[in-house]
Amino acid sequence: MLRSLAVALSRGGWRRHAPVIAVVVASLVTFIYLWIEWKPHHPKLLVFPVAPLAKACDSLTNVDPGKFPAADAPIPNLVHYIWLLADPTVFSLSFKIFVSVYSAHYFFKPDRIYFHTDVSPDLWERTKSSGDLWTKRVLNIPGVTPKYIENPRLTSQGVDIDTFGAKSDFIRADALREFGGIYLDVDAVPLRDVAPLRRAGFANVVGGAVALKSKFKGVVNTGVWLSRPHSSLSEIFYKAMDAYYNGVWAISVDILTDLSYRLQAIPGEVLIVHPRAFAPASWELEDEERMFKPHRNTPSANHAGDDGGGVLNDVAGQQPGELKNTCVDALAWLGDREKAGRMESWEMDFSSTYVLHAFDDDSGQIWGWDGKITLPYVLARQSNYARAVYPAIWHAVKAGIISKHESTL
């Protein structure tokens, strides 16, 4: 057939057939483009070798496919952070970390907030009493408890674990295996209580990730993870990281995504929630700007002498700690938010967000911002991030943890 087509073209002159050729080529290009763009929208399920994990599930409790786990066995109300030192003599936590930890304390009311850390016990205690301002405030938040650990350096296969991201992947899985609870990256900020998710009857709750590039669509966000102790997901993830870690940090995203989608077929094992629940914006530069950029043309809400009433207490139509989106007033709330003057053109809606994983790699300087998340920056509420995290920080001001004098600087 191809030979016949070639002969016909040579005899009749290819110019007469140029329109047909152009249509065929255009159709092929369009088909290939659509296929490439469409295909990655599906979760990328990797196929790992079976042999290293052949017995990974032997010690796990089998789940009866006809029954969900008991509703009276919720995910423990424990919070886990990881903090490893670049310099063993320097231990300092920023205001941005205070935002996350205090928000977890305020909204979750956890039994413990564990810091899994290689900070020495002596340095921890010295810093707690005489460190810099925000470090002392973080360490003195009720429930904050050190969990001293060894810094992981090698897999059982002898592969160097040489980045903080990879080390954190191993530590978080180990923490959730042992204790269960809520793992948070230090840039993940709670905006409401996750108790409904802890009590939903699932052994694990993870969330999808927003991605501006199609190749990242369908992946699971590794920065927020709720788990029962010794859940199948945490146990297998830990073993898989040890078996397959090859020096590339991002392999943890592929492994957690792959396992989460496969294990969600087991009743009660994994709940994958919508990206808006944990990560309503991506790590791409465009979304970082959308999240953090201060809009200087919006009047600052940080008025000296304000006692918490009026403008400081009216955050997007809500009181601090309260989200006006009940079944009764859901549409009324939305209508009110869309009224002229009630919502800025740049403002994002976080009413369905439990935890805001606010990715930030300090690239704000590209669009003319110094990249510093400070108390005045949050209280001014001129960015989406500031408006989202404000309720817990204003609570800290009213509780006297942050002085009103500081809030007006």
pLDDT of residue 144: 97
Domain check: are 360 and 215 in the same one?
Answer: no
Q: Are 358 and 365 in contact (CB under 8 A)?
A: no
Structural domain contains residue 27: no
What parts of the chain have a pLDDT lower than 70? 1-72, 210-217, 282-284, 301-334, 336-342, 360-369, 407-409
Residues 254 and 312 in one domain: no
Both tokens of 86, joined, read 């670049």
Separation in Å, CA 367 to CA 185, 285, 362, 372:
25, 10, 11, 13
Domain that holds residue 340: 285-407
What's the pLDDT at 239?
92
Does 200 lie in the same domain as 223? yes
pLDDT tens for 318-349 read: 444 444 556 666 666 667 666 655 677 788 88
Domain boundary among 255, 278, 301: 278
- Are 266 and 375 in a shared domain? no
Q: Is residue 10 part of a domain?
A: no
Tell me the residue ranges of DSSP E strands in 72-228. 78-83, 112-117, 144-148, 181-184, 188-190, 204-208, 220-227
pLDDT (tens digit, 9 = 90+) per residue, 268-323?
999 999 999 998 886 667 778 888 888 777 777 654 434 333 333 333 334 444 44
pLDDT at residue 2 in the model: 46
**Same domain, yes or no: 247 and 386:** no
272, 142: one domain: yes
| Amino acid 317: pLDDT | 36
At 7 the pLDDT is 52
Residues 97, 172 within the same domain: yes
Domain tally, the chain? 2
Q: What are phi and psi of 351, to 5 degrees?
A: -70, -15
pLDDT of amino acid 404: 72
337 and 307 in a single domain? The answer is yes
pTM attached to this predicted model:
0.79
What pLDDT is attached to residue 56? Answer: 60
Burial label, 13 (beta-carbon count in 10 A; 0-12, 13-18, 19+)? exposed
Res 248: pLDDT: 79
Record the tokens describing residue 146, joined without a space.
Answer: 């050190």
Query: Do 228 and 367 have their domain in common?
Result: no
